[in-house]
């Protein structure tokens, strides 16, 4: 990965991809004191990166693309491969940057947004277990203001006054591997890793070898799913590495890697020989509640025989939470195991249920992470990579340096302005110091994320170091690399004639959240494109026809045999039937991410309706355009990108050739039998007094209604609270049914 943090075992043969510039994440990162992270202005004035509130829309799109790719690969490396290439704090800072940009530019949220992802797809060595209750990740806090903001947000969502009693628990965040344990009648029946949150790996026999995990428990509910963290103590980790080294076996980079690798051994005897431990901190499926509060439920798990963290305490509010954070931070070095922050949870389980969850994180919990580190090293080279959208991104190749126990060999350089020592507005950054090959540079990692360069030591600059000249020619295809006015990024103008862009579009098409064809990953796409076998997605579905059985051409290649070739063609055939949302996402249309693709699929229902609507909206005016832009979560920029893609003859022809080989499945509709608002479009405006706007929207969508952000002729109901303004007036002008909050609650039977 282009901005990878590589561990020592990978120094010998670093593999630099020829892939997209989007893989270089352009981020603002938190710094340890004296540098501060405040709001969205991360590291501003220290790194010279553009503050989020100063980003142009084009800059925001580019950053979100890079973040999605970098975080996706980080998830796979960490959760599936047990070989993380970035640290937890670095990862957290990337996700925070991504979320902040999405909050400012909601219309730019991608279908593959990291905000909607948990973990990574399970590996192939274990049987799979579907989690009955999804295993979530946690949102992050990095400073005191984030913690008080978390409390304020909870109160606002629940409608609680600032002085109303609201208790939280605080506990150390263990740096290990998440594990779910299912007990039936007190007997351990299965154990599963988190995987991608929905499906994990069956590691039951391995979990039975861990001393902290009981095989049987008494006085438990009939069904009890205990969740916690598998970890390894510092002392046990040191002993294990000594033993491994003495036997000439692989040593581990850190306790988390050792714990994850040990739990995921195919031979349980190896796991049994490893000193693994387990802390219980939560639960999934229950046949009956454990208690009425988080704290009491953890106490009950302890009474059943599970190890729970003794530093878990009750807090009356943000003041107590921050005090416990600082207390745990002072003990961090002497705990004997790795932690990377403190987790706060709303204590009242009834309030947890009311708060609910977002796509991947609960609203009632947050992780307060520990801060970042710095180091100096030599900049050996600057490489340019070209991505799926043609963006040219510079990557710093560094003399490897250890930063907080992790080896850093690459860092992002953002764009040509950043290298030259200025921001997007032309103002000086780093006191105007540019970055040159040969420079001695300061590297930093936010919290424990993708490295960046913070400063340059001019006193150590070589006498022959020349200013870096950013290329205006694409290094992949030789086309002009153009920087449009207002855009911080220079892009290749070659389009599909540029091999980097063509290959990356095909990689996106076969990616996990798109067509996800077994046996056809990034390496195979590069190989087949290089050989001229596939130039566009439709070519994938004609491979067998164009090469007879396909076996004569494929089975003699390196890594392929008759069985693997036949398996590939069978996998391709299996994906000829594809859900509408996946197909829309797979097209790789700019600004249209996974979440937006699913929104579009739900709204239009079928490929025929979607395709027709895109054609009718081509002029970006009229009823079809108004209907498209009224979809909650689809803005004018995304809508324009959609209709433009379908209006271009070449792209439309490519889409038509693809769809001719597919059976596109209609979007599933929610089970809304008996719902009085199923299929209706509703708009909320003004102040709601009996529920928050978020709760009202969630309730309406659960009943099968479409929630729109604007009033149009296609709106069915407007719910107007006190202070309703232009939307209520427009509804009256159009003769749209308007209800107050009481009327809405009566209509949906919520009173």
Rounded CA gap, 29 and 42, in Å? 5
CA 101 to chain centre: 13
Rounded CA gap, 146 and 139, in Å? 11
Tokens coding 451: 């490295």
Among residues 593, 627, 428, which one has the least CA distance to residue 68?
Answer: 593
CA 732 to chain centre: 42
Tokens coding 174: 């263990």
Helix H, strand E, coil C: the string for 624-653 is: HHHHHHCECCCCHHHHHHHHHHHHCHHHHH
C-beta contacts of 656-662 below 8 A and 24+ residues apart: 657/536, 657/538, 658/536, 658/537, 658/538, 658/541, 659/583, 659/607, 660/538, 661/538, 661/541, 661/542, 661/576, 662/541, 662/576, 662/577, 662/578, 662/583
- Mention every residue, 6+ apart, whose C-beta is less than 8 A from residue 327: none
Q: Would residue 513 show up in a list of annotated catalytic residues for this protein?
A: no
Rounded CA gap, 360 and 736, in Å? 36
Per the listing, tokens 């890079």 go with: 66
Positions of E strands within 56-154: 128-130, 139-141
Strand pairing partners for 32? none
- Mention every residue, 6+ apart, whose C-beta is less than 8 A from residue 330: none
- Mention every residue, 6+ apart, whose C-beta is less than 8 A from residue 649: none
Burial degree of 604 (CB within 10 A; 0-12, 13-18, 19+) = buried
The CA R_g of the chain, rounded to the nearest whole Å, is: 27
Rounded CA gap, 56 and 157, in Å? 30
Burial 343-379 (b: 16+ CB within 10 A, else e): bbbbbbbebbeebeeeebbbbbbbbbbbbbbebebbb
Query: What's the order of all strands across the beta sheet hosting 717-720?
Result: 706-707, 681-685, 717-720, 737-739
> Residue 101 is inside which H or E element, if any?
helix 88-104
Rounded CA gap, 654 and 34, in Å? 54
Tokens coding 184: 């039936």
DSSP secondary structure code for residue 666 in this structure: P
Which candidate in 38, 109, 156, 173 is catalytic?
A: 173
Rounded CA gap, 518 and 121, in Å? 13
Active site residues: 173
């Amino acid at each position: 990965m282009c901005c990878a943090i590589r561990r020592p075992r990978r120094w010998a043969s670093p593999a630099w991809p020829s892939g997209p510039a989007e893989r270089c994440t352009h981020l603002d990162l938190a710094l340890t004191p004296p540098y501060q992270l405040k709001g969205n202005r991360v590291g501003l004035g220290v790194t010279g990166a553009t503050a989020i509130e100063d980003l142009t829309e084009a800059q925001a799109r580019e950053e979100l693309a890079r973040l999605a790719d970098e975080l996706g690969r980080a998830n796979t490396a960490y959760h599936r491969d047990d070989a993380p290439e970035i640290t937890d704090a670095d990862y957290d800072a990337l996700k925070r940057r991504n979320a902040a940009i999405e909050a400012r530019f909601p219309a730019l949220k991608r279908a593959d947004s990291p905000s909607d992802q948990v973990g990574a797809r399970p590996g192939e060595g274990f049987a799979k277990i579907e989690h009955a209750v999804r295993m979530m990740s946690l949102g992050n806090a990095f400073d005191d203001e984030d913690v008080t903001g978390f409390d304020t947000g909870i109160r606002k969502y629940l409608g609680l006054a600032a002085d109303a009693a609201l208790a939280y628990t605080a506990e150390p965040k263990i740096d290990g591997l998440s594990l779910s344990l299912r007990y039936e009648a007190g007997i351990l029946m299965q154990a599963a890793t988190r995987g991608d949150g929905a499906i994990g790996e069956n590691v039951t026999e391995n979990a039975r070898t861990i001393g902290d995990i009981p095989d049987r428990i008494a006085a438990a509910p009939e069904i009890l799913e205990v969740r916690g963290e598998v970890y390894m103590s510092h002392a046990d980790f040191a002993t294990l590495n000594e033993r491994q080294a003495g036997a000439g076996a692989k040593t581990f980079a850190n306790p988390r890697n050792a714990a994850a690798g040990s739990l995921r051994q195919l031979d349980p005897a190896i796991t049994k020989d490893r000193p693994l431990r387990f802390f219980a901190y939560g639960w999934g499926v229950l046949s009956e509640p454990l208690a009425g509060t988080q704290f009491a439920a953890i106490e009950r798990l302890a009474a059943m025989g599970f190890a729970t963290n003794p530093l878990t305490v009750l807090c009356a509010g943000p003041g107590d939470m921050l005090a416990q954070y600082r207390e745990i931070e002072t003990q961090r070095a002497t705990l004997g195991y790795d932690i990377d922050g403190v987790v706060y949870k709303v204590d009242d389980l009834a309030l947890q249920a009311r708060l609910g969850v977002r796509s991947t994180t609960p609203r009632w919990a947050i992780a307060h992470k520990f801060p970042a580190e710095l180091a100096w090293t030599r900049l050996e080279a600057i490489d340019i990579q070209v991505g799926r959208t043609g963006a040219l991104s510079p990557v710093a190749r560094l003399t490897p340096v250890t930063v907080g126990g992790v080896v850093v060999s690459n860092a992002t350089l953002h764009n040509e302005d950043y290298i030259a020592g200025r921001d997007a507005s032309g103002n000086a950054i780093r006191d105007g110091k540019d970055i040159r090959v040969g420079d001695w540079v300061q590297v930093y990692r936010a919290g424990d994320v993708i490295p960046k360069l913070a400063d340059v030591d001019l006193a150590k600059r070589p006498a022959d170091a020349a200013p870096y000249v950013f290329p205006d020619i694409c290094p992949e295809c030789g086309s002009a690399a153009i920087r449009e006015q207002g855009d911080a990024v220079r892009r290749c103008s070659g389009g599909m004639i540029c091999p980097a862009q063509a290959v990356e579009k095909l990689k996106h098409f076969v990616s996990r959240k798109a067509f996800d064809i077994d046996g056809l990953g990034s390496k195979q796409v590069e190989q087949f494109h290089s050989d001229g076998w596939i130039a566009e997605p439709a070519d994938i579905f004609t491979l067998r026809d164009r090469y007879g059985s396909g076996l004569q051409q494929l089975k003699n290649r390196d890594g392929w045999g008759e069985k693997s070739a036949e398996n590939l063609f069978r996998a391709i055939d299996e994906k000829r039937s594809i859900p509408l949302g996946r197909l829309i996402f797979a097209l790789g249309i700019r600004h249209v991410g996974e979440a937006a693709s699913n929104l579009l699929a739900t709204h239009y229902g079928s490929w025929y309706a979607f395709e027709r609507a895109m054609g009718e909206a081509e002029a970006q005016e009229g009823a079809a355009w108004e209907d498209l832009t009224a979809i909650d979560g689809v803005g004018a920029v995304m809508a324009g990108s959609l209709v433009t893609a379908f209006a271009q003859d070449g792209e439309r022809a490519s889409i038509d050739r693809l769809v001719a080989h597919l059976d596109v499945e209609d979007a599933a509709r929610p089970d809304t039998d008996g719902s009085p608002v199923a299929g209706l479009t509703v708009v909320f405006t003004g102040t709601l007094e009996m529920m928050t706007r978020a709760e009202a929207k969630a309730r309406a969508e659960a009943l099968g209604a479409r929630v729109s952000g604007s009033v149009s002729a296609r709106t069915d109901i407007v719910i107007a609270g006190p202070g309703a303004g232009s939307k209520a007036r427009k509804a009256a002008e159009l003769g749209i049914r308007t209800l107050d909050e009481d009327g809405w609650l009566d209509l949906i039977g919520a009173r």
